[in-house]
Structure 1
């Protein structure tokens, strides 16, 4: 038995030399030390750690890290990592050391560090916190009060982006119905690199009774241009040419357009969606520098047309393509209706219609009488025929009876007197 073990050991040693010495068995690295977390600005979370103790001298240390559910995996030699994230929920980072960039080779155990959400009742935090970059010149943030908050709560908004040396407070907070908003200057003209940055926003109350709410706004995600300007309109060969000007701070290739033409006499409306403003006629005025041109076919030149337009950002330059600008001022083209004739017709037509109705009503009344004469009342006729006579007959009948009675009484008296005279 002992001889067999020695032979096996000798055989393994010979195989090791034949294979060039072979690789040493994989050893587990010790974990990183002193992992800590801190917050910079408003929403920048920074994790730092120290290299593992008693690390192998032959190991070139790498650090593998990821957030919860293994999101945002990263392998780097730096002993720190940062992330820009809203601090409304718990955020955890896990780190381990390893000797190569291979995720499964010579790795240590995980070390985890979390940053807790802000203190306070979650139901008291503001809701629907959204920020829009208007015309690349100022940002407007709006929100709704939390459920468990007092109606007279005084809110404060703080913001920060990379061009600022410190966190600033938004001053002009106002209420717009149920929403509360605040605007602050954010001009791209002063910093051409702003498109690549984000704005960190935090809203809380002055008394510290509600839970703070955070938001990270990518500047290219929510951009709303100002309305464009219509410079002139003209009709040529039955086509309408719309000449306009882009809102300030925007290039034509970064915008999508919508032109609306309304015929005031027929009541028809036509909407033209255009991604690139251009006109087919190279001789048109649309070739002027700084002018955008749109061609609308089938516009009636003998009627009055109203034209307006609006724009939105596209995905060539920005992430969001749903925020339309307001409509531009309306411009008219075509023949206008004679206002004097129009007013006269408005006055004459009601008079004519009223007169016709009155005449028609009178005519219909006479015509009804002729066609449908009134039916006589039989009761009235019989009353006229017999009613008075019956009354007279009864009257005379009563008179005769009375007279007869009076006569008989008189005769009786006279008879008695005659009898008395005779007896004497």
Structure 2
């Protein structure tokens, strides 16, 4: 290393050392803002760097903290950027704080932290709190459509008119429900087609409305649709006796868009006089076996749900139809055949006796009729002979 390089190296070291000694504190960011883009949940938080750090060769980062004002679990993010976007619960006020973090070198362990600068963002919450809807429940049926239903707010008149808006990341702007669900003339829900549905991202909903005299408090909801799926019931449940004491059960996955490997199943079974017992099958298979006792009728039905590998939560489907199978003891078929043959013999004997009695009755009736007819004929002949004799006696 030549003398010139050594001189430059020591000059840089001295400059950095002098700069570090001079920097004993750091100013917080300036012009902190919270901007609502109108997507019913996401907010853009932005700020500017402290002017005191302009033209300084330092490692500057920012610590951002944000949450709803009544929450004790605030999120913290460290970033080099001057803005950050995340989703929020608009039903409460939101507090956002940011401060500056400075190191003379990014790998250094020593770091200066500024004071916090904070702002409170107040979403539009006009209207009385009791006027907003309650108990929103949304169900995605077999990934084919979704229905969201809600209850009216407390002490609101029947003339209230609720309106639902929604947004997700595939939409350029918020959309209004195109197919409201009505009950006795009142809006109680919204029907979404499959094209409106998107999984694994925030699905933001706002339900507000209007009254004649005052506004209605808006209600905000953020959903994860993959956790709200209700599958269709399994189809083609089949029961077969695979051995003397084992039933094999097979079924088909529900038809639709849900991938077979995303499904778990619950099977319920019972004997003729026992209660239902349950068996959960979570590996996505569509068959199982049951150990059974002989000379018993077993009944089975199956339902499905999205498993833990494809969603954090789900709804169970309706039960399939009930299918039953009679389990007989070994040799039970022969015993049944023998019993059936004995019944057949008895039946034939009874039919033979009945036939003989019927024929005998008919024969006796015919004999009786012939006897009566013969007696009548003899009486008629005798009367004719007497008349003839009288005629002959008169002539002589």
- TM-score w.r.t. the length of structure 2 is 0.66
**2:384 match:** none
Deviation at 1:50? 2.0
Question: Based on CA coordinates, which of the two structures has the bigger radius of gyration?
Answer: 1
**1:353 match:** none
**1:55 match:** 53
Instruction: Provide closer, same or farther for how the CA distance between residues 230 and 138 of structure 1 changes in structure 2, counting only shifts above 3 A.
Output: same
Tell me which of 239, 250, 253 is aligned to 2:246.
239
Instruction: Provide closer, same or farther for how the CA distance between residues 212 and 21 of structure 1 changes in structure 2, counting only shifts above 3 A.
Output: closer
Distance 2:88 2:293 in 1: 53
Deviation at 1:228? 1.3
Question: Where in structure 2 are the equivalents of 1:300-315 lying within 5 Å?
Answer: 300=294, 304-315=297-308
Tell me which of 28, 33, 58 is aligned to 2:30.
33
Query: How many residues matched?
Result: 298
**2:192 match:** 184
Counterpart check, 1:71 vs 2:74: yes
**1:228 match:** 234
What's the C-alpha RMSD, in Å, of the aligned pairs?
3.3
Tell me which of 154, 158, 161 is aligned to 1:147.
154
Secondary structure at the residue paired with 2:190? Answer: strand
Secondary structure at the residue paired with 2:216? Answer: coil
Stretches of structure 1 that go unaligned for 5 or more consecutive residues are 1-16, 279-291, 336-424
Instruction: Provide closer, same or farther for how the CA distance between residues 149 and 246 of structure 1 changes in structure 2, counting only shifts above 3 A.
Output: same
Q: Do the aligned residues in 2 keep the contact of 1:311 with 1:325 (CA within 8 Å)?
A: yes
Deviation at 1:235? 1.8
Q: Do the aligned residues in 2 keep the contact of 1:277 with 1:294 (CA within 8 Å)?
A: no
**1:296 match:** 290
Tell me which of 192, 201, 224 is aligned to 1:197.
201
Distance 1:146 1:83 in 2: 29
Secondary structure at the residue paired with 1:24? Answer: helix
Instruction: Provide closer, same or farther for how the CA distance between residues 103 and 22 of structure 1 changes in structure 2, counting only shifts above 3 A.
Output: closer
**2:225 match:** 219
Deviation at 1:166? 2.5
Q: Do the aligned residues in 1 keep the contact of 2:180 with 2:188 (CA within 8 Å)?
A: no
1:27-77 CA deviation, whole Å, 9 max, x = no partner? 322332222212121111111222222325223332111014572111111
Counterpart check, 1:138 vs 2:154: no
- Give the structure with the higher percent strand: 2
Structure 1 residues 247-256 or 140-149, which shifts more?
Answer: 247-256
